[in-house]
Structure 1
Amino acid sequence: MKGRTAAAAGLAAAAAGWAVRDYRAWKALGPAGMPANPAGWLAVTGMRLRARDPYTFREAGDGDVSRLLISLDPRPGERPEVAPHPVPHRVLTQHAGPAETVALQDAVAELAERPGFEMRLSDWEQHHPALSRVDGPELAHVHPSDGSAHVVLSPLDARVVVGRRWGEFHPLAGVAPALPFMPGLPAGYVLLYPPQDAAQVARLATIVEAATG
């Protein structure tokens, strides 16, 4: 009996230690579309149980690959490390520099100047401006904290972008929301990795432009 009690106490202590460390790591990712408190962390932890493999392709959908992505070259180097939390969905390594982050933000804002598009507060992040269709869905937003971005692509275009290592699927892309108040994410909802130089800014801007087609 004492042995089982000690083992249970040890497991409880280990679980509590993990929870504290994970909560602090989650808080360090910055603001997103969930309350930055223990209740928000618990909700996000529940979402992790619904997470999909970020590199696994699903249905390709109809249509053709965007002409803007047909000649997209593979991203050089290794993929960055991505935090395990679905919200906020952020990278832990290979952050963009301030100049590259601003350049990508400017490129996205420039797309919003086209007829039928606008910049408005992100429906999902709720903290950042997002490229959106006028009176329509959100298409992309940039995260100022690390220079990464989210973009809504067609399923086939998303396959190309993920396959060529420019990003990965959001863990809840195409998955039913884990909570009633959490809007579902499209199947082509992709995290774009932070640009490391001006050339990568241009590639990412092209990917976002493909989302407007």
Structure 2
Amino acid sequence: MTQAEEMRSLPDKLHRTFFRSMSLLPARGQGLLLRHYFEWFHRTPDPWRHAVDPYEARKYATTLAHVEGDTFDRVLDVGCSEGTFTLLAAESYPQADVLGVDVSERAVHRAASRSKARPSGRTRFAAMDFLNQDPGGRFDLVVCAETLYYVGRDDRLRLASERLRSFLAPGGTLVLVHPWPEARRLHHFVDGDPLLVRRDEQVEHDGGRPYAVSSYRLR
């Protein structure tokens, strides 16, 4: 790694360390702190530029292409932020009931405002701490993108992985999207879950910001 690359990676390392320290708390205490943090982070709209960044648009298209040809009646987007991907999934599956959940009330409020243009009204958003709360019912497709590194240490990552699996209907599909090669660690407990079968994994080296799209099916 060059010195310039090392300097660029330093903020990411500090970022990860901060969230790992949160995972020393009990799960409910961690969820409460995450809620406060992401409420603060969403003090301005679209803080990650999900709606306008071409890189994010390409990543969303890659994620949807990963399950192209499948049909889903119920779709859950975990960590939806302001709903950019959620609404794209709703367009891809117009007959599906689509739910986006995020720990930030501000984020889901903005997402709900954006979704009003969808005539069918089958897209909903809700504030939810997925480590400690259920979305209600089971889903044919669960997507969790750019979220698991906020969970922290391995014991909490194991809990998060079990929670995501618990949201699946029998035969349902789980899709995880995270930076590569960090995805190896973040997806480790899902990879080792005997109730899940890996369908596919795709690593994209997009503009020097590689990520993995990994999909699994519940037995």
**TM-score, scaled to structure 1:** 0.29
> Which of 1 and 2 has higher RCO (CA within 8 Å, sep 6+)?
1
Larger helix percent: 2
**TM-score, scaled to structure 2:** 0.28
| Structure with max Cα Rg | 1
